[in-house]
Amino acid sequence: MSTLGVNIDHVATVRQARRTVEPDPVWAAALAELGGADAITVHLREDRRHIQDRDLEVLRRTVQVKLNLECAIAPSMIDIACRVKPCQVTLVPEKREEITTEGGLDVVAHRAATEEAVLRLKDAGITVSLFIDPCPQQIDASVDLGVAAAELHTGCYANAATEAERHNELVKLSRASAMVRLAGLELNAGHGLTYRNVVPVARLDGMGELNIGHSIVARAVFVGFTQAVREMKSLISG
Ligand code: PXP
């Protein structure tokens, strides 16, 4: 059965729009736990556009479920991760000009830098997951690096313009999921998942953690955070 990692970045996005203290992502994390979140996910971006260092520090001390930190492979970010020691770090690509993470980490092209980051995190006792596109080369490279988990990028599935395209993307995700599981890695997925498109991904064989942010935060504006999380949790566990 899939588990739910609630990404609370966009609570911080609203706060940073006014550079004030509310809404506090730390409150959102507590409410997400009440709604049944299995993990809390935050992306500490190099430009600090939403989550701040203070948020990560406080969440490390207050979150009772798994805390998953997404960050770039840059040594300065790995320094922070090794100091704060979240339960899991998911390494993601990062471009300053992007609106959100646009593709998976290219583990093949950035093999040496990724390996360095993975080794440092593993030495610090942190579980490492790599956010990758659902393609065989990226999965093979991730397996070679000895990480515990792979998070498959579901953006192409989520953005598919037609039913046929969506079906093709789901087939790709299904094949990639089987490869990840066969290699003995934990299988996670995320990006662009919504209340309308999540179920087929949640039902893929061996699917573990689904990391979902924007859609939950968007619904929470109207129904409240705990309720929004509860509704997503019930969809993926159904
Ligand atoms: N997983 C990863 C690795 C991400 O970078 C993001 C976006 O920060 C998500 C999941 C969540 O994506 P969304 O906000 O579209 O649900």
* CA separation for the pair 66, 63 (Å, rounded): 7
Q: What is the mean pLDDT of residues 78-97?
A: 93
- State residue 96's pLDDT score: 64
To test the pocket of ligand 1, the residue of 211, 229, 232, 236 to mutate (highest count of ligand atoms within 8 Å of its CB) is 211
43 touches 11 (CB < 8 A):
no
CA of 101 to the centre of ligand 1 (A): 7
- Known catalytic residue at 167: no
Encoding tokens for residue 6? 């609630």
**Among 82-86, 101-105, 124-128, 162-166, whose mean pLDDT is lowest?**
101-105
What whole-number distance in Å separates Cα of residue 187 and Cα of residue 165?
A: 23
Amino acid at 213: G
41 alpha carbon – ligand 1 mean position (Å): 9
> What confidence score (pLDDT) does residue 102 get?
74
Q: Indicate if the alpha-carbon torsion angle 141, 143, 145, 147 is positive or negative.
A: positive
Using omega within 30 degrees of 0 as the cis cutoff, is the peptide bond preceding 23 cis?
A: yes
Which residues are CB-neighbours of 237 under 8 A, at least 6 positions away? 1, 2, 202
Note the CATH number of domain 3-237: 3.20.20.70
Q: Which residue has the higher pLDDT, 95 or 133?
A: 133
Say whether 191 is catalytic. yes
Residue 210 has pLDDT above 70, yes or no: yes
**Ligand 1: centre distance to CA 145 (Å):** 23
Q: Which entry of 94, 169, 191, 209 is annotated as an active-site residue? A: 191
* Residue 101 pLDDT greater than 90, yes or no: no
Cβ < 6 Å from ligand 1: which residues? 7, 9, 43, 70, 90, 92, 100-101, 131, 151, 190-193, 211-215
Match 């065989």 to its residue by tokens: 136
Q: Is the pTM of this model over 0.95?
A: yes
What atom of ligand 1 comes closest to residue 131's alpha carbon? 3
Look at ligand 1, atom 3, and give the residue with the nearest C-alpha. 131
